[in-house]
Amino acid sequence: MTVPPPPWRSAPRRRAAKPVLSQASIVRAALIVLDDEGFDAVTMRRIAQELETGPASLYAHVSNKDELAELMLDAVLADIQTPEPDPARWDEQVKELVRDQIQVMAAHRGIARIAWDIPVPVTPHSLRLGEATLALLRAGGLTLKQATFAGDALALYAKAYAYEASGWTWGEFDQAEAGERGEQMVAYMRSLPPEAFPNLLHVGEFFSAETAKERLEFALEAFLAGLKVLAKN
């Protein structure tokens, strides 16, 4: 029972009025929803709503939610610049690249979660990052095989770290609740039986959100120091 539009009012010509739907615009909208409302809010319906349309419309430009996720990740990774390898400070460059990856993922809370849902990322910027990492590691004197394995481990750790970090700042608790939760954590650990948990007892203070960066730096430093040892054999 649809009624034709009244002839005295010019037809709104919606098609031209609102920006055309495209893969890029869908990805952009999805990222906006992700940034504003978090991972759980990124549903096909919510994205469609953002574009003032229905969920079915998205499937003309994106075949899957998984594919959309891949596109989102790639769009985010595009912000990372890859350096020219400098053999004199290759280790610092590797660290920098990992830091950049994590920072970019932190800028879009929840993208790390999405990254885990993608089995093998073969998008353009993923490949670019992979190649750049390999080049740096080779500049450090590692064989291709060693570089491959090291790059895999670094990528894995970066994703894991970013995911955990996004959990801290976007679990289900908002910023205010996070601090409270942290203190509860410390208190709980202190309450453990001392004879069974002599070490864990005092760990609470090292585990706050403030030490997150420090934990990252430690892991990077240790791993790269190890790489230098292995490279000499």
Partner DNA sequence: TTCTACTCTCGAACACTGTTCGCGTCAAGT
Partner DNA sequence: ACTTGACGCGAACAGTGTTCGAGAGTAGAA
Do residues 141 and 98 lie in contact, with contact meaning Cβ atoms separated by under 8 Å? no
Return the residues of window 34-63 that contact DNA according to CB under 7 A.
Answer: 42-46, 53-57, 59-61
1 binds DNA (CB under 7 A): no
Q: Nearer to a copy of itself by C-beta: 29 or 155?
A: 155
Return the residues of window 159-188 that contact a copy of itself according to CB under 8 A.
Answer: 159-161, 163-164, 167, 171, 185, 188
Q: Closest by alpha carbon to 94, among 138, 56, 38?
A: 138
Tell me which of a copy of itself, DNA, none is bound by residue 10, counting a contact when its beta carbon lies within the kind-specific cut-off of 5 to 8 angstroms: none
Task: Report angle CA 192, 198, 201 to the nearest 5 degrees.
Answer: 45
From the list 5-13, 37-45, 73-81, 225-233, the region that binds a copy of itself by CB under 8 A is 225-233
Residues 6+ apart with CB under 8 A from 54: 48
Amino acid in the structure at residue 72: M
Task: Report angle CA 160, 128, 111 to the nearest 5 degrees.
Answer: 35
Do residues 135 and 106 lie in contact, with contact meaning Cβ atoms separated by under 8 Å? no
122 binds a copy of itself (CB under 8 A): yes
CA 9 from centroid of its chain's CA atoms = 49
**Angle between helix 90-107 and helix 212-231 axes, rounded to 10 deg:** 150
Return the residues of window 58-87 that contact DNA according to CB under 7 A.
Answer: 59-61, 64-66
Do residues 31 and 75 lie in contact, with contact meaning Cβ atoms separated by under 8 Å? yes
Question: Contact with DNA (CB under 7 A): which of 9, 14, 145, 232?
Answer: 14
145 binds a copy of itself (CB under 8 A): yes
From the list 2-10, 32-40, 68-76, 141-149, the region that binds a copy of itself by CB under 8 A is 141-149
Taking the complex as a whole, how short is the minimal distance between the CB of residue 113 and DNA, in angstroms?
A: 13
9 binds DNA (CB under 7 A): no
From the list 16-24, 114-122, 153-161, 208-216, the region that binds DNA by CB under 7 A is 16-24
Q: Which two tokens stand for residue 59?
A: 């499937």
125 binds DNA (CB under 7 A): no
Question: Contact with DNA (CB under 7 A): which of 6, 10, 11, 232?
Answer: 11
Taking the complex as a whole, how short is the minimal distance between the CB of residue 71 and a copy of itself, in angstroms?
A: 18
227 binds a copy of itself (CB under 8 A): yes
- DSSP per-residue codes, 127-196: HHHHHHHHHHHHHTT--HHHHHHHHHHHHHHHHHHHHHHHHHHHSSS-HHHHHHHHHHHHHHHHTS-TTT
Contacts to DNA by CB under 7 A = 2, 11, 13-16, 20-21, 42-46, 53-57, 59-61, 64-66
